[in-house]
Structure 1
Amino acid sequence: MKESFVSIQNLNLKHQQKSVLRDLNWTINKGDNYILFGESGSGKTSLAKIIAGLQQADGAIKINFNNNSNLPAEVLFVESWYQFKNLEGVANFYYQQRYTSQQAKDTLTVHAELVSYGKEKGLHFDQVEPILESLNFSSFASSQLIELSSGEHKKLQLVKALWLKPQLLIIDQPYTGLDAASRKNLNILLDKVSAEGVKLILISNDSELPASINRFAEIKNGHLIEVESNEITPSTAEKHFREIPDFLKESPVYSSQQIVKMVDVNISYGEKQVLKNINWEVKAGEKWLLQGHNGSGKSTLLSLVNGDHPQSYANELYLFGNRRGSGESIWDIKQHIGLISPEFHWYFDPNATVWQSIASGFYDTVGLFQQLPYSKSEQVNELVAYFGLTASKDELLSTLPLGKQRLVLLARTIIKNPELLILDEPCQGLDQQQTQHFNQLIDELCSNGMTLIYVGHFESQLPTCLGKRILLEKGEVKVVESLNTKTRHFEEQSNLV
């Protein structure tokens, strides 16, 4: 008879009077490493937090730690998003602060964060260096936490978890924001700690998994079901595409046929050069794919286009026909742009309702702080209906499943029918069905002539409307090409992304 490591019996959880988990039973035997998956909102993260003792629920949970093991007798839950604080212990940041923080030095560096963590957990620093090298993260030692991209934050979380090696390690969306090479190296590291006795539960819908994963479980209708693979059982409810609102059928009103032009653009932080001699032009109506390794400079490049980066004034940069620094404000620039990024999602107002979140797109704020005129209110209502969010319009954005949150933020980005839509890894954390649905919406919404810059690593997670590609490597432009039937297989031919 197998010896159980985790035993869960009759677990029940309600959220706002709605049952999330119903009489859930789960036995994890010693030697089992699980993938836990399911549709967005099915209760995966809640179950993980309950096992880790971070959330309360009704039912019985017993964890049989090995008292003879050298590994810490604890459960470590790695959240899908990293929460960090400044030097005063406050986590109240704003989006543009990431690019102005060089002057302020208001958060710990990666090195200081690891030193602090090592002291707290009694770890030897020499043991973390191979992990940093494997995840290609050693060069970020002097970077402040607020300067890191979503993929870099994920690496920091993973480094700390793999360094600690708890007896039970639960990782929510381990591959979020990681490029292909980092994903492969992460799987090797996970297999290594598994061989040393760490039990794994990975919450993921990805197909490329560590070899040590030998069990699969899906949460469906509040129950946990053991299955043969992590292919989500198709939902009986089909996604119906409503007719696109009339105001989005019209072509955006372009102020210039030149959306972005960069001439020998360079960005440096001290001695670290992030972008080197970038030359790039985006014309009205073009659909661009932006790619590159973690740390290749993608986020910095986009911050120049968004108007967020203070070093844009020191470069020859043209946005919407005007040279940057010719008198326009950051808000003048943002009037032309709709944006989704993991970092923007982090800093969005958690107290805003779905309706307020969408409406805030008119004013480029992270919450709604003024009364909308009737005509604009009607546009919000049209988008709420178009995205199937009517039943959720008065709920807080932060309480919705991740898939719905992304739809809300997409609605927010297009509410003003912008000239330029910037989607920075918009499908992070979504399952395959949600990703397909999201990108079908992008294809439909961009059919009116909207300009698009889309950041994504994998061909299976891209909209079909993309026509051009720019690839960054170590801050330099490596490739600029047109995407057609021959070049759409670039990912299979190259390890650059």
Structure 2
Amino acid sequence: MNDRKSKSPLGDLGVSVAISSLNLKYQQKSVLKDLNWNINRSENWVLGGTSGSGKTSLAKIIAGLQNAIGEVKINFDTGSHLPAEVLFVESWYQFKNLEGVANFYYQQRYTSQQAKDTLTVHAELVGFGKENGLHFDHVEPILEALNFATFASSQLIELSSGEHKKLQLVKALWLKPQFLIIDQPYTGLDASSRKNLNILLDEISADGVQLILICNDSELPSSINHFAEIKNGQLVEVDSIDTVSATEKHSREIPYFLKESPVYSSQNIIKMVDVNISYGEKQVLKNINWEVKAGEKWLLQGHNGSGKSTLLSLVNGDHPQSYANELYLFGNRRGSGESIWDIKQHIGLISPEFHWYFDATSTVWQSIASGFYDTVGLFQQLPYTKSAQVDELIAYFGLTGSKNELLNTMPLGKQRLVLLARTIIKNPELLILDEPCQGLDIQQTQHFNQLVDELCSNGMTLIYVGHFESQLPTCLEKRILLENGEVKIVESLNTKTRHNEVRSNLLHGTI
């Protein structure tokens, strides 16, 4: 069990956190082995490296959220005006409804029945402020900097992954604890928000907050002055984020059944004519006109809150307002007699929101196999040929040793790999990848995007949502850019200009 000391008068010794002989086992597997780490005052760290190495577990132990064998001493500065707390911001936001439970389903975000079932952003912040004795006028500049002030009346369940991340960050920046640990701080954030977040982190660091950021991102606050990773259960300091380890490379051949071209039911995959989506007086999509032909590879971009997730919910058949619009999917007018399952059989989808609501009590094998039936768990036995395909894909992603493990017991990065495998298992006509590389380390990201490129070379249609230029596959041919619910740009991309154009837009915060 951890030995923790709070509000220690040892602040003048210069050590904020002292960790010695820390050990952690999970299912008989050693994650941390006699780990030692001293964090001195004025030090701000990035903890990077491979998925599943123990980064998040270590952060939770420091924050007192997970037990381990060893000694962890937190020496708060008794002379500081900041709260003597260690705040851990998880990789995604775990919210509940008004009855205090989190029993949500994926499509619920888009239905009218969920109205008033969760708090609004404003109510959530008011409650947090009262609980922690904070002044509300101090949060307003943070909301403005992260472009989140306009979401005050939005229900928590209506928010996208990037918007949920912003809510987490707003709370943390408002509280300003003496020690702040953020797991994947940039997940789902557009370029402008990432830039402003770094400025805000530098400001609170100057005010005395110490930081640990768990990520592999290269665009970091200037106040970050130490870098480390966990290797073989030990903490190893490195020179920069660029020198952390990556997942071991492998050159497995893509499964044979994924080399076949998809069988298209129509050459017209998507057609939207003056599509409008509103929630009460709030219009989310405005006069959208967009066509996607079989075999095209699209990049979908836009600021957080621009309408990307709502647009994809129309394509995937999840949004009930699709019936009130002129929308054609796979050659058929929406509402002409097809069911939601008729639509989904053509599509492979991964998104942060889908990951939230997926049945995490399924095993790895069951999770991937469920992709054949578009369910959030496996409820029937697979025939031999389909079972063999699941095994092939598990081997391709290097998950054979984990195929019988429960999804919710695995590191976040490996959970995402499992759901990515589920997405492509049926070799769909349309692949929708919404921020697919969240939670993956650098090598896993490169490996997955190489797979995407190979799948698309066989004729698969692609819609790819990505905020990070370094996390895009090379096969992308066209781009649609949303701004405040409207189509701002529809353009063709080519391999020579795509990299420079997208990078320029990212650097200038336009996407």
Please indicate the TM-score interval, normalised by the length of the shorter structure.
Answer: over 0.9
| RMSD (Å) for aligned C-alpha atoms | 1.3
Write the letter of the residue equivalent to 1:212.
S
Which is further off, 487-496 or 142-151?
487-496
How far apart in 1 are the matches of 2:135 and 2:144?
16
Aligned residues: 496
Check 1:148–1:102 CA distance in 2 against 1; reply closer, same or farther (3 A cut): farther
Give the % identical residues: 82
Query: Residue 248 of structure 1 is aligned with which of 258, 261, 267?
Result: 258
Check 1:240–1:377 CA distance in 2 against 1; reply closer, same or farther (3 A cut): same
Shift in Å, 1:365: 0.6
2:305 is the counterpart of 1:291: no
Post-superposition CA distance 1:428-465 (Å, at most 9, x none): 12222221111011112222211110000122211111
Check 1:372–1:416 CA distance in 2 against 1; reply closer, same or farther (3 A cut): same
Write the letter of the residue equivalent to 2:259.
K
Shift in Å, 1:327: 0.9
Matched-pair contact (CA < 8 Å) for 1:11–1:24: yes
**2:117 is matched with which residue?**
106
Matched-pair contact (CA < 8 Å) for 2:300–2:464: yes
How far apart in 2 are the matches of 1:190 and 1:248?
44
Post-superposition CA distance 1:290-311 (Å, at most 9, x none): 0011011000000000000111
TM norm structure 2: 0.95
The correspondence of residues 49-88 of structure 1 with structure 2, limited to 5 A, is: 49-88=60-99
Query: Residue 395 of structure 1 is aligned with which of 374, 386, 405?
Result: 405
Matched-pair contact (CA < 8 Å) for 1:459–1:489: no
2:344 is the counterpart of 1:344: no
**1:320 is matched with which residue?**
330
5+ long unaligned stretches in structure 1: none
Write the letter of the residue equivalent to 1:360.
S
How far apart in 1 are the matches of 2:188 and 2:458?
29
**1:199 is matched with which residue?**
210
Check 1:234–1:69 CA distance in 2 against 1; reply closer, same or farther (3 A cut): closer
2:484 is the counterpart of 1:474: yes
How far apart in 1 are the matches of 2:49 and 2:307?
33
**1:440 is matched with which residue?**
450
SS of residue in 1 equivalent to 2:111: helix
How far apart in 1 are the matches of 2:442 and 2:398?
19
Matched-pair contact (CA < 8 Å) for 2:148–2:166: yes
How far apart in 1 are the matches of 2:376 and 2:114?
24
2:26 is the counterpart of 1:3: no
Matched-pair contact (CA < 8 Å) for 1:266–1:315: yes
**2:133 is matched with which residue?**
122
How far apart in 2 are the matches of 1:155 and 1:387?
31
Shift in Å, 1:101: 4.5
How far apart in 1 are the matches of 2:454 and 2:299?
17
Which is further off, 351-360 or 245-254?
245-254
2:154 is the counterpart of 1:143: yes
Post-superposition CA distance 1:384-407 (Å, at most 9, x none): 222222111111122222332222
Matched-pair contact (CA < 8 Å) for 2:63–2:88: yes
Shift in Å, 1:54: 0.2
5+ long unaligned stretches in structure 2: 1-11
Check 1:234–1:123 CA distance in 2 against 1; reply closer, same or farther (3 A cut): closer
How far apart in 1 are the matches of 2:343 and 2:489?
27
**1:332 is matched with which residue?**
342
Which is further off, 65-74 or 97-106?
97-106
TM norm structure 1: 0.97
SS of residue in 2 equivalent to 1:96: helix
Which is further off, 113-122 or 151-160?
113-122
How far apart in 1 are the matches of 2:402 and 2:243?
24
